[in-house]
Amino acid sequence: MSKYSLATFVNETKENPQERDYFELEKPQLLEINLNNQFVWTKAGSMIGYTGNINFERQGMFSGGLGNLLKKVVSGEGSKLMKAEGTGKLYVADSGKKVRILHLNNESICVNGNDVLAHDQSIKSDITMLKSIAGMMSGGLFQVKLSGTGHIAITTHGDPLTLMVTPENPVYTDPNATVAWSGNLNPELKTSISFKSLMGRGSGEEFQMKFSGNGWVLIQPYEEMYTVEK
């Protein structure tokens, strides 16, 4: 059989039926979720295919209360989640970004809202807000704190790097390149630029996120830009 035949192509790229984990990395940029009469939260717009009997319901991540106000200024698909419920195989991806599966064991992690791809129903999600003008202008205003026991999937542009944070060595990052950090850290947004200068937004180097204490922060080799809805 020719290595360029259609049959060879199909055989090399087809889904592996032996993989049955709840969250399964089918390809580096493609997550397979095996549902068995249960539901999972995924990023709105991330579904690229499914088999079986799965129902989808789009919901705002910021539904109710303060969320009614917040969702007016939050940008992009990262502000909304899709509930997928039923039995079957669900395939999700996000603009070719690499996917990383994590299993939390009564732990917590903070993730940039745009980088949350999926989490199972047992994981609690809370919006955290950095109260800073710099945060709003950089797109670094909203993050999602995921906690509990269960699976989550996050995405990065390229291969990420984890920097360790210690009391002696705080870490400073560009908000647009910051993906996630340990749940015990509370970053500050630092800037030496005036509000007037921020309104004419320039590069991300004008302001940084400062991480102090004991923990870690995950950065990606890419500055992800965000737009703010009017």
pLDDT of residue 131: 54
Tell me, yes or no, whether 109 lies in a domain.
yes
Burial 107-141 (b: 16+ CB within 10 A, else e): eebbbbbbbbbbbbeebebebeebebbbbbbbbbb
Q: Is residue 9 part of a domain?
A: no
List the CATH number of the domain containing 106: 3.60.160.10
**Is 225 inside any structural domain?**
no
Structural domains in the chain (count): 1
pLDDT of residue 43: 92
Domain that includes residue 128, residue range: 18-219
The per-residue pLDDT for 39 is 94
- 228 in any annotated domain: no
**86 in a structural domain:** yes
Residue at 47 is within a domain:
yes
Extract the tokens encoding 89.
Answer: 């195989």
- pLDDT averages per 10-residue partition of the chain, 230 residues: 81 77 93 95 95 88 44 45 94 96 94 91 83 48 87 94 95 91 89 55 66 95 62
pLDDT of residue 68: 39
